[in-house]
Amino acid sequence: MKKLLQVDFDFTGPFGEEMSTLLMDLAQSINNEPGMIWKIWTENPKEQLGGGIYLFENEAYAQAYLEMHSARLKEMGVEKIRGHIFDINLPLSTINHAPMTEVK
């Protein structure tokens, strides 16, 4: 069953265009992570947060990615990492026009 991984963490930047340019190679490499279907990159310069919303093929892939990602962030000096793996409630999400064609 497909799973949604929600990650956010305290982050001091770079944000916006600078982030896009700096992390393009990282984004490309994320396409090669096992079971990764898509990622929405999230950022909040005001609250100093970074994060991502991911869709994975199953829980094991999502869990393995979360562990790898958390370790990589800690190496970069990021301390507070919040990660949760969720089921998607498809009937309710469908009512609310969620972009879920990959989940069906």
Residues in contact with its own copies by the rule CB under 8 A: 4, 6, 8, 15-16, 19-20, 23-24, 27-28, 30-31, 36-45, 47, 49, 51, 53, 84-89, 91-93, 95-102
CA 91 from centroid of its chain's CA atoms: 23
Q: Nearer to its own copies by C-beta: 76 or 95?
A: 95
Burial 74-100 (b: 16+ CB within 10 A, else e): eeeeeeebebebeeeeeeeeeeeeeee
Q: How far is the CB of 103 from its own copies (least distance, A)?
A: 9
Least gap, CB of 74 to its own copies (angstroms): 21
Residue 53 per-residue DSSP state: E
Measure the CA–CA gap between 35 and 63, rounded to whole angstroms.
11
CB of 11 to its own copies, least distance (A): 11
Comparing CB distances to its own copies, the nearer of 19 and 78 is 19
Q: How far is the CB of 84 from its own copies (least distance, A)?
A: 6
